[in-house]
């Protein structure tokens, strides 16, 4: 033992002799079997420690990799944002160029079919919403200004400048939309060729003019003859088939629709009130004030029936499946071209009709408010709310006092306009037509359907009812809204009020 350690040991032994003796009396004892186990445990702990150190190194390496990858992703995101901003900028630039090109093409090339509202008094002309349609392919004898393949809005006029309106004044002898009478005074069948479509460029009316002063001056811009209108329609398909007779109501419920288990709407426009409605299956045409013909619960297309002008009795024929789209309004010039009786008749309808087509009661409300000096208003929201309240008062039997002269003046001045709807044939349901034909043949054979004469009416009144079905002015608007077709002599439906949402064809189609 080292000499220094030995001296220390001697000192400790003397200082702590009792403790040292006691410690040495209990020596540390380990068996020979425990030593290998202890060595193995120490070796395992060293291996585990080494594995943990390796895992720690891997985690540090992964952290460095993720940090580098994150930096790369940040760079890519910044690059994509820059590309996106550049793409948006280019898209906005291209959209502006396309819009400018479309406006230039529409104003210079023409051929677009537009329908602008009639001229207003004391207010700028209202723009009519454009319909998304495609121009037909050019016919053999295409009209001037025909815009081949270009999208167009609904105005049946080639080369029409902004601020123009569609007019339906006829050429030569005036053929009013509500009453077409020959020079001899006899009523004749209405066909589309009887009516020219005239475009007038409107001048702003004087808002300070008297209510019953002279109508607003308009200068003629373009006349579209029937031959040009035919040229547009030559691109459409004409279906050649036999016509069949329908029933007199408006809805066929899904359970009685022979073609499919869906609700079906049938439309019966009065021919004398609409000189441009189709006369034969597959033809296309125009409908005036057509809002009341469209049940909201039934989607397009809808089944169209036309008055059988060749028949002596009041009968209607199935023309096909049609799609309807609003295209504009009749101008003040178009209305002034009608006969006085036609003007008074439409004014009477506007005063009497409070249900069905909202155009009638809305027109009356606006005319009454303008007469009272409450319109026009600079606040559009206030004006709309005022019209809604006036409509509610009219339906309750109140409202501003308005007479036929006020209505006629507003229409003639262009303050109000008759709505124009485009009717386009998109098909013909042969199963539906044959089913109606079979059911009616069986009904006539059994005697359940008779002549058009109503119960209790003399023969002369029965003849008058036939004219009523053609659109003649017999009775109120609600009575004329229901076409008179062959039906039971004492039909309970004759006393019902017209409601295009509820009227049902099912009972007569399928007795």
Could you tell me if residue 228 is inside a domain?
Answer: no
Which band of pLDDT confidence, cut at 50, 70 and 90, is reported for residue 404? Answer: very high
Residue 384's alpha-carbon distances to 333, 375, 377, in angstroms, are 27, 10, 9
The model's pLDDT over 69-92, given as tens digits with 9 standing for 90+, comes to 888 888 888 888 888 888 888 888
The answer to whether the CB of 307 falls within 8 A of the CB of 316 is yes
Q: Quote the CA–CA distance of 298 and 305 in Å, as a whole number.
A: 16
Report the DSSP beta bridge partners of residue 288: 420
Which band of pLDDT confidence, cut at 50, 70 and 90, is reported for residue 124? Answer: very low
- Residues of the domain holding 388: 251-509
The model's pLDDT over 127-148, given as tens digits with 9 standing for 90+, comes to 433 333 334 444 444 444 444 4
Q: What is the mean pLDDT of residues 164-191?
A: 37
Could you tell me if residue 460 is inside a domain?
Answer: yes
Helix boundaries (H) for 321-403: 332-336, 340-352, 358-371, 380-395
Window from 117-126, 403-412, 417-426 with minimum mean pLDDT: 117-126
Provide, for the chain, the percentages of residues in helix, strand and coil under a 3-state DSSP scheme, each rounded to the nearest 5: 40, 15, 45
Sheet order of strands, 164-167 included: 164-167, 197-202, 218-224
Could you give phi then psi for residue 198, rounded to 5 degrees? Answer: -110, 140
The contacts of residue 151 (CB under 8 Å, 6+ apart) are 132, 133, 134, 135
pLDDT at 406 over 60: yes
Could you tell me if residue 6 is inside a domain?
Answer: no
Q: Return the DSSP state at 245.
A: -
Residue 461's alpha-carbon distances to 246, 465, 466, 467, 468, in angstroms, are 23, 6, 9, 10, 10
Residue 503's alpha-carbon distances to 96, 267, 293, 469, in angstroms, are 49, 11, 11, 17
pLDDT at 486 over 50: no
pLDDT at 57 over 80: yes
Could you tell me if residue 461 is inside a domain?
Answer: yes
Could you tell me if residue 320 is inside a domain?
Answer: yes
Residue 25's alpha-carbon distances to 13, 22, 282, 426, in angstroms, are 14, 5, 127, 119
pLDDT at 381 over 70: yes
Could you tell me if residue 286 is inside a domain?
Answer: yes
- Among 153, 243, 290, CA closest to 434: 243
- Among 325, 288, 300, 56, CA closest to 167: 288
Window from 194-208, 352-366, 469-483 with minimum mean pLDDT: 469-483
pLDDT at 252 over 50: yes
Could you tell me if residue 483 is inside a domain?
Answer: yes
Instruction: For residue 151, give the H/E element and its range.
Output: strand 151-152
Q: Quote the CA–CA distance of 472 and 384 in Å, as a whole number.
A: 35
Highest mean pLDDT among 157-166, 208-217, 381-390: 381-390
Q: What angle do CA 288, 289, 294 make, to 5 degrees?
A: 110
Could you give phi then psi for residue 295, rounded to 5 degrees? Answer: -65, 125
- Among 336, 481, 339, CA closest to 414: 336
Q: How many domains does the chain have?
A: 1
| H helix and E strand count, the chain | 13, 11
Q: What tokens does 147 get?
A: 């815009």
Could you tell me if residue 423 is inside a domain?
Answer: yes
Residue with tokens 């009020």: 497
Q: Quote the CA–CA distance of 225 and 421 in Å, as a whole number.
A: 19
Highest mean pLDDT among 5-19, 156-170, 278-292, 357-371: 357-371
Residue 319 CA, chain-centre distance (Å), reads: 23
CA dihedral 104, 108, 114, 118 (to 10 degrees): 100
């Amino acid at each position: 033992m080292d000499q220094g350690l030995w001296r220390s040991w001697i000192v400790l032994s003397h200082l702590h002799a009792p403790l040292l003796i006691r410690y040495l009396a209990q020596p540390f004892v380990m068996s020979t079997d425990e030593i290998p186990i202890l060595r193995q445990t120490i070796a395992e702990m060293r291996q585990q420690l080494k594995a943990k150190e390796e895992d720690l190194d891997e985690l540090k390496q992964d952290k460095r990799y993720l940090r580098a990858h994150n930096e790369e992703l940040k760079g890519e995101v910044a690059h994509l944002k820059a590309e996106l901003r550049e793409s948006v900028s280019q898209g906005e630039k291209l959209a502006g160029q396309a819009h400018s090109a479309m406006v230039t093409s529409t104003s210079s090339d023409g051929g677009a079919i537009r329908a602008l509202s009639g001229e207003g008094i004391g207010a700028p002309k209202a723009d009519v919403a454009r319909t998304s349609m495609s121009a037909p392919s050019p016919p053999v004898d295409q009209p001037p200004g025909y815009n081949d393949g270009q999208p167009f809005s609904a105005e049946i006029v080639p080369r029409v400048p902004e601020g123009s309106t569609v007019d339906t004044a006829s050429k030569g002898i005036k053929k009013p939309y509500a009453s077409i009478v020959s020079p001899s005074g006899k009523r004749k069948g209405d066909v589309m060729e009887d009516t020219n479509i005239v475009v007038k460029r409107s001048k702003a009316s004087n808002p300070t003019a008297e209510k019953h002063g002279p109508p607003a001056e308009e200068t003629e811009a373009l006349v579209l003859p029937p031959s040009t209108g035919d040229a547009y329609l030559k691109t459409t398909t004409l279906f050649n088939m036999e016509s069949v007779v329908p029933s007199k109501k408006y809805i066929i419920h899904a359970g009685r629709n022979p073609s499919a288990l869906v609700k079906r709407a049938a439309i019966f426009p009065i021919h004398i009130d609409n000189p441009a409605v189709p006369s034969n299956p597959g033809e296309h045409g125009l409908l005036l004030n057509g809002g009341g013909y469209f049940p909201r619960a039934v989607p397009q297309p809808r089944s169209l029936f036309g008055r059988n002008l060749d028949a002596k009795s009041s009968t209607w024929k199935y023309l096909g499946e049609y799609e309807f789209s609003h295209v504009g309004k009749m101008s003040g010039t178009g209305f002034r071209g009608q006969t006085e009786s036609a003007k008074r008749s439409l004014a009477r309808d506007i005063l009497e009709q409070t249900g069905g087509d909202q155009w009638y009661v809305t027109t009356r409300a606006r005319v009454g408010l303008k007469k009272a000096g409450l319109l026009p208003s600079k606040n559009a929201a206030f004006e709309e709310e005022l019209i809604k309240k006036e409509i509610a008062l009219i339906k309750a039997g109140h409202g501003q006092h308005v007479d036929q002269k006020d209505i006629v003046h507003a229409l003639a001045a262009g303050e109000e306009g008759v709505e124009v709807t485009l009717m386009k044939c998109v098909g013909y349901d042969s199963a539906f037509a044959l089913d109606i034909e079979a059911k009616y043949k069986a009904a006539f054979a059994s005697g359940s359907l008779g002549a058009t004469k109503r119960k209790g009416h003399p023969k002369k009144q029965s003849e008058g009812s036939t004219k009523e079905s053609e659109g003649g002015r017999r009775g109120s608007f609600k009575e004329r809204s229901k076409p008179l077709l062959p039906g039971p002599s004492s039909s309970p439906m004759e006393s019902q009020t017209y409601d295009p949402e509820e009227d049902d064809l099912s009972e007569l189609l399928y007795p």
